Amino acid sequence: MKPAPRNAAPSDAKERQAAKPVVCYPIPTFPAFDAAPYDEIKGDMTLVSETMVAPRDASCFEVPAGHFCRMISTEGPQVGDLNLWNLHDLDERFFSGKTRALHGTHMGVGDRFWSSLPYLRPMATITYDTLDWYGFDAFGGSVHDVIGTRCDPYTNVLLNDNEYHYCCHSNLTRALASHTGMGLTEAEPLVHDVMNLFMCTGFTQDTKQYFMKSSPVRPGDYLEFFAEIDLLGGLSACPGGDCSSGHSSDAAKCYPLKVEIWKPAKTPDGWAPAKANAYSRGHGLD
């Protein structure tokens, strides 16, 4: 937040404030997303796995490159916190900050989940979203943000001075440890900032503080992505439920989420798994 200023505005303050914004990463520099090749191959595909995510818990699931993953609302409005890793190298993981810089605050069809440095490549592409009708509401809110982090027990101790063990951070840590056989200490640093599936969020108009509001998701809604590399996913059913009031407690009504992995009979023409970033990593010394 910006406190009351202690410095007088300079004489040209209005002029400086009037400078026009320039989009940092203009979207037209990306290859344009074309839904048609993905829609076409979805006509012939096979369900290869189903994973249930229990309320206030998380599950891991594997998505081979060239497969579709659907994250589905089941019994009631519920938000999810999504982590993605390269299945073969967990050091490469979803980079929510760069994804936000490239695509904006909330993700939609055609946006890519970008991986961390020094890899920085598309891990997955969003191919369908039953909540695409929502757009941005009158409060500036929307779904599937990459502006939050994940609810975690450390912030909860700071703000509420109590221990709660079923925040998304802990849920994802337990799920990753269980799936890989790692201990909690090894798994925890691999958990990273998330994409907030179905969560409706934004920044307040006046103070620009992060807000959440009741999610518009209903049973049957889903977000679908296409894996650009072999992925390990982790999805937590947030203890905030639909995130209409609070989180980091057992107060909210929570529901399971479902993850389906679909194998298409063929991949889109010309598609190949994403290659690692081409930067030389010289950093000016070679």
Please say whether the beta carbons of 89 and 275 come within 8 A. no
Which residue, 151 or 254, is less far from Zn ion as judged by CB? 151
Q: Which residues bind Zn ion (CB under 5 A)?
A: 81, 151, 168, 238
Q: Least distance to Zn ion from the beta carbon of 240, Å?
A: 6
Which residue, 240 or 264, is less far from Zn ion as judged by CB? 240
Which residue, 64 or 153, is less far from Zn ion as judged by CB? 153
Q: Least distance to Zn ion from the beta carbon of 139, Å?
A: 20
Which residue, 60 or 102, is less far from Zn ion as judged by CB? 60
How is the chain split among helix, strand and coil, in percent rounded to 5? 15, 30, 50
| Interatomic CA distance for residues 104 and 213, integer angstroms | 19
Q: Least distance to Zn ion from the beta carbon of 98, Å?
A: 22
| Residue 234 zone, left/alpha/beta (φ > 0; ψ -120 to 50; rest) | beta
Q: Least distance to Zn ion from the beta carbon of 238, Å?
A: 3
DSSP string for residues in 179-217: HH---HHHHGGG----EEEEEEEEE-TTT--EEEE----
Which residue, 168 or 231, is less far from Zn ion as judged by CB? 168
Q: Least distance to Zn ion from the beta carbon of 82, Å?
A: 11
Copy the structure tokens of residue 71: 């994250």
